[in-house]
Amino acid sequence: MESKEYHIPVLLEECLDGLQIDPNGVYVDVTFGGGGHSRGIVGRLDAGKLFAFDQDEDALKNAIDHPGFKLIFQNFRYLRNSLVMYGQRQVDGILADLGVSSHQFDTAERGFSIRYEGPLDMRMNQSAPLSAADVLNTYSEVDLVNVFSSYGEVHNSKTLAKKVVAMRGENPFKTTEGLVDLLKTMVKGKQSNKYFAQVFQALRIEVNDEMASLREFLQQTEKLLKPGGRLVVITYHSLEDRLVKQFINNGDFIKEPLKDDFGNKLVSFKKVNRKPILPTEEELQRNTRSRSAKLRIAEKLD
């Protein structure tokens, strides 16, 4: 049975092992949430330090009482500048769990889930200016097509965008239920839930500027990690997993590795696991929300 905890940490032991934690080292958890991964890291530290990041104010109440722990209320796209403010220019390991927390999904007023009626919000940072309702009610038809197709891979993005624009003139979108009612007219049968999830994902990514934030975060890890330091990232959908894979393999978000004038690869990381690590059957039974998780681990080269 799935727990109603703030968030059950996914692939916990695999992440901790992947970081190769030095008890006196310095580590960063850029997606603190309920603090499950952070507590695992802290449990392996002696004189070491852990800096954790989260942009959701709800996560701050989960702060860990430990002398080496610091929770920073900030989006991980500002990772490097934030760490420099605390006198930390290099670290031994960086962990990112890119999923939405169970708390965010299960809190109806946050608007992340198709299961609960609530306002069309979806902001991870609740003080951010843009909500999902704003996207649906103000974006042009062309921009909506781009959001649905690029971030949700929605097969009928043009038709959906046209319907959104037609409906919002008389009845602006306000609640998750109102959006789901529209989506029910777009798809039938077994594909409904997948379709709803794709649309909600697309809106969430746009609202939180997730892909740009991920790119900026990954680029900063190259200088932040010490030689031999580990980058440990859990992804949940193909868009973010592709970025992480390309960055580790090729040194940038491109299909082929960067090379110098002599044809040598200009990469800063080596893959630790050739293929992504997936949850075990036992974990899937314990936490169904881990089913799409993929863990990639890379080590910083000299």
Lowest-confidence segment of 1-15, 176-190, 255-269 by average pLDDT: 1-15
Average pLDDT over the chain, rounded to whole? 94
Q: Which helix (H) or strand (E) holds 247?
A: helix 238-250
Q: How confident is the model at residue 174 (pLDDT cuts 50, 70, 90)?
A: very high
What pLDDT is recorded for position 219? 96
User: Longest Cα pair distance anywhere in the chain, in angstroms?
Assistant: 62
- Sole residue written with tokens 């030095």: 22
Q: How confident is the model at residue 128 (pLDDT cuts 50, 70, 90)?
A: very high
Q: How confident is the model at residue 3 (pLDDT cuts 50, 70, 90)?
A: very low
Give me 120's structure tokens: 């069309």
pLDDT average, residue stretch 133-149: 98
pLDDT average, residue stretch 276-293: 95
What 3-state DSSP class applies to 271?
Answer: strand
What pLDDT is recorded for position 86? 95
What pLDDT is recorded for position 191? 86
What pLDDT is recorded for position 1? 29
Residue 161 pLDDT exceeds 70: yes
Q: Where are the domains of the chain?
A: 12-102+212-300, 108-208
pLDDT average, residue stretch 148-173: 96
Distance CA 248, CA 296 (A): 9
Q: What would the DSSP string read from start to end of 60-104?
A: GGG----TTEEEEES-GGGHHHHHHHTT---EEEEEEE-SPPHHH
Angle at 287 between CA 282 and CA 291, to 5 degrees: 85
Angle at 27 between CA 29 and CA 74, to 5 degrees: 40
CATH homologous superfamily, domain 12-102+212-300: Vaccinia Virus protein VP39 (3.40.50.150)
Say which DSSP state 20 is in. Answer: T
Inter-CA distances, 25 with 32, 45, 76, 228, Å: 18, 8, 20, 12
Lowest-confidence segment of 81-85, 118-122, 257-261, 291-295 by average pLDDT: 257-261
What pLDDT is recorded for position 5? 62
Q: How confident is the model at residue 225 (pLDDT cuts 50, 70, 90)?
A: very high
Domain 12-102+212-300 and domain 108-208 have a common topology: no
Give me 119's structure tokens: 């306002």
What 3-state DSSP class applies to 296?
Answer: strand
Give me 290's structure tokens: 């881990």
What pLDDT is recorded for position 260? 82
CATH homologous superfamily, domain 108-208: Putative methyltransferase TM0872, insert domain (1.10.150.170)
